[in-house]
């Protein structure tokens, strides 16, 4: 650093920094986890209270940003939210639960912002390593939203939307008894929405074809059979 003293760096800064750089503590405090901890300790706490309806106006914009990452998913979250709202009415959920479900639908793929487009837009079968990259996205989404007061259900839904009843899902490999009705519902709707959309490796399916896939998955105890039947009947064009 002395080499660039007075050219690239201000002499006073160099004189202060060099003695500090000789301390191991400095580099420990600059580690990723330590930086986050220091920021939390030195960031003043502040709170804003919004209704779920007000938050939804914000998350609808976020869903457009998330979906714009790939040309194949531009309408995925909005389509999922539309179907979620219909099924929430079918099950007579109250307004608060409905809004939380819609926010979760908007943000369920937030973690895919951390996944390369080379993987998201790949026209062929993913390698095990590439699929491993895809599998991080529920956890990334959870990490982004953890700690927001009132988002407990929303975070749960986002974290669990790729779990399966037999434990073969991800990221936790939960089994049926660990997955509540709302998590099961969002999972089924996410699968249905994805099946009806065009992907780089296949054309989008019509309702009948998507319904068959859902039924097959339900028969294998991957997803909830009653929810599948309700979706097939209620969302039929």
Kindly report the pTM of this predicted structure.
Answer: 0.81
Stretch 116-122: mean pLDDT: 89
Considering the chain, tell me which residue range(s) the CATH 1.10.3210.10 domain(s) occupy.
Answer: 52-234
φ, ψ of residue 3 in degrees (nearest 5): -60, -35
Query: Can you give the pLDDT at residue 33?
Result: 67
52-234 topology per CATH: Hypothetical protein af1432 (1.10.3210)
Query: Can you give the pLDDT at residue 26?
Result: 67
Nearby residues of 137 by Cβ (< 8 Å), 6 or more positions away: 109, 110, 111, 112, 114, 115
pLDDT of residue 200 exceeding 80: no
Query: Can you give the pLDDT at residue 198?
Result: 85
Alpha-helix residue ranges (DSSP H) falling in the chain: 11-21, 24-29, 32-42, 52-67, 76-90, 95-107, 117-120, 128-134, 137-145, 152-160, 181-195, 207-219, 225-234
The SS3 assignment for 93 reads coil
Query: Can you give the pLDDT at residue 71?
Result: 66
Stretch 127-142: mean pLDDT: 95
Contact predicate 126/119, CB 8 Å: yes
CA dist 13 and 64 (Å) reads 44
Chain mean pLDDT for the chain: 91
Confidence bin at 8 (pLDDT 50/70/90): confident
CA dist 126 and 132 (Å) reads 9
What is the per-residue pLDDT across 9-67, written as a single tens digit (0 to 9) for each?
A: 899 988 888 888 887 776 777 776 677 777 777 777 777 889 999 999 999 999 999 98
pLDDT of residue 2 exceeding 90: no
CA dist 205 and 186 (Å) reads 19
Contact predicate 197/75, CB 8 Å: yes
What is the per-residue pLDDT across 138-195, written as a single tens digit (0 to 9) for each?
A: 999 999 999 899 999 999 999 999 999 999 999 999 999 999 999 999 999 999 999 9
CA dist 97 and 157 (Å) reads 12
Query: Can you give the pLDDT at residue 125?
Result: 87
């Amino acid at each position: 650093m002395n080499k660039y003293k007075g050219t690239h760096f201000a002499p006073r800064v160099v004189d202060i920094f060099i003695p500090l750089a000789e301390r191991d503590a400095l580099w420990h405090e600059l580690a990723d986890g330590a930086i986050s901890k220091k920021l939390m300790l030195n960031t003043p706490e502040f709170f804003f209270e919004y209704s779920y309806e007000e938050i939804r106006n914000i998350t609808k914009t976020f869903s457009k940003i998330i979906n714009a990452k790939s040309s194949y998913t531009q309408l995925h979250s909005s389509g999922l939210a539309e179907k979620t709202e219909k099924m929430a009415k079918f099950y007579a959920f109250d307004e608060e639960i409905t809004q939380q479900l819609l926010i979760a639908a908007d943000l369920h793929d937030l973690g895919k912002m951390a996944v390369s487009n080379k993987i998201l837009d790949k026209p062929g079968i993913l390698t095990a390593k590439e699929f491993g990259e895809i599998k991080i996205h529920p956890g990334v989404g959870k990490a982004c939203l953890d700690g927001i007061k009132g988002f407990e259900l929303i975070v749960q839904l986002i974290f669990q939307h790729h779990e399966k009843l037999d434990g073969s899902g991800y990221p936790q490999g939960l089994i049926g008894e660990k997955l509540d009705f709302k998590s099961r519902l969002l999972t089924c709707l996410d699968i249905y929405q994805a099946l009806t959309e065009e992907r780089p490796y296949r054309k989008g399916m019509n309702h009948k074809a998507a319904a068959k896939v859902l039924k097959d998955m339900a028969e294998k105890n991957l997803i909830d059979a009653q929810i599948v039947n309700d979706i097939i009947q209620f969302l039929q064009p």
